[in-house]
Amino acid sequence: MILSLGIITAVAGALLGVVYAATKEPIAIMQKEQQVNAIRQVAPPFDNDPEADVWTTQVDGTDFTVYPAFKDGKLQGAAVMGSSMNGFSGEVKVMCGFDLDGTVRNYEVLSQAETPGLGAKMQMWFRDPTGARSVIGKNPGTTPFYVTKDKASNGQIDAITAATISSRAFLEILRRAYDSYVKYAESKGVTVGDAAAQTEASAKGDASSGASQQWDGEKTGEQK
């Protein structure tokens, strides 16, 4: 009996090893294609190879990867990939696209394990023009990317209904992605903050910018 169980366990282990080896490369290729497609979807038009010009920085111990978009040798903006472990169900990973002045151009949620029908709605929710949901066309340098219920941070973005924690994680990623893009742009001699302030003033006649404050990251353990 014991011998039989041992043989079954060994065979099962060998089969799992074979399946892993057979699927590892296709999965890696699929993830790579997803990443490349996300860069194309969110970044401004470019004629360089963003992956060849990739630049990585860390924000509070988390890697944020900047894929710069150049055209005719001039920086146009970037796609920035980053993540947060503060989702309701763990890690959320997003590819964020910024125009030259730091305005959010587009985004793609690359992976998340949030509650279906709640936090999982982030892929569409934050591009919905209803109320103050959408982050598209807004600039984290001039608009506080916090949920509206975070009064201390002057939050300006509507959280997903009944999924505040998921919403905070998503917006945390965008804030940090913006900061990473600003650092990269400055390394290239471009001051994104000035461009953002000028854009906001031109569009709204208001040269004031929203002060960025960090969410303390405290979870209530409840989606609201």
pLDDT of residue 161: 97
**E-assigned strands of 42-192?**
55-59, 62-71, 74-87, 90-99, 104-111
Domain boundary assignment for the chain: 40-204
pLDDT of residue 198: 44
pLDDT of residue 37: 85
Mean pLDDT by 10 residues, the chain (224 residues): 59 56 61 79 96 95 97 96 97 97 97 96 97 98 97 98 98 98 95 58 37 35 48
The pLDDT mean for the chain works out to 83
Quote the CA–CA distance of 59 and 42 in Å, as a whole number. Answer: 21
Quote the CA–CA distance of 106 and 208 in Å, as a whole number. Answer: 24
Quote the CA–CA distance of 118 and 130 in Å, as a whole number. Answer: 17
pLDDT of residue 155: 98
